[in-house]
Amino acid sequence: MGFCSFYGFVAVIICLICVLYLRNRAPRKDEKLKKLKGKVVLITGASSGLGKACCFEFRKYVCKVVLCSRNLEELKRVQKQLEDTYPLPPEEEGNASLVHKLDVADIDTVAENIRNVAALCGNRIDILVNNAGIGNKESALSSIVEVFKQVLQVNLLGSIATTKAVLPHMVSQGSGHIVGIGSIQSKVAIPFRSAYSASKHGAHGFYDSLRPEVHQYNIKVTTVNPGYINTNISKNALKADGTKYRRTENEYLTGMTPEFVAESVVNSVVKGWSENTVAPILYKYVPALGFLFPGVLLYFLQRRAAQHKQGTRKVD
């Protein structure tokens, strides 16, 4: 009996490994094309970094990409690069990209802007990528309240406002996909990022609550939580007085490329994953460490805070 139980246990483990492998296997290019071709994809924060990379990755599969951000001139520059890199044949000209100025922090104008975008796309928005975001540096003690207001306005309230503006179109068309770009800090808050961590924790909770609510309308909700990405988010982060940090910390310089993360965003949409953590394996298991051994995680975070105070953390 013991012998049979052992091999039965091994068989169950093997089956679980196979299921996990099949679930997490990246989709093939033909799968992506079949799933995404002709979809209207609205991406916020599309003028640089991960948002820009997402524009190129979705366009690769003949999506109609709508590039949105505050900087219209930069959007037009990215759009030209997009059209030059992935020119459309005459029969696909209807999927040409669009640009639209959108400041997600200006909550009162978001709904009208989304209606204008939808009108240009046949009143259809298939995929929303909530990517627009801003970071912060320095301690909660030294940071003015305005820093928290700005970060929460963009990362949390801006994402909620954009999602709410898009949802009626998705409900009406009977399908849709909301993608929230989170962070490892959606799960584990680190010192000197209190405003950013609060905003990402809040957004993660919003998406978790929204996911079962909209299931009945055939709308999916995915959160993508990347680790450090080599973008300008550190340079543009707010210091304690609300001015820009204008430096890039070493972990960002050695971080993942935006293109790598953008590919993971597209894979998450095609596979319909509820959540996808995109990071080196060590970072992926930090939340589990905090759950199982909260005292150990706190110890390492306290050390990180002490190193920061002593000025030993590297910047360029």
Q: How far apart are CA 260 and CA 240, in angstroms?
A: 31
Catalytic residue among 21, 61, 86, 196: 196
Nearest alpha-carbon partner for 266 in 21, 99, 27: 27
Rounded CA Rg of the chain: 21
Contacts of 15 (CB under 8 A, 6+ apart): none
Q: What are the residues facing 40 on neighbouring strands?
A: 64
Q: What are the residues facing 221 on neighbouring strands?
A: 178
196 is catalytic: yes
Active-site annotation, residues: 196
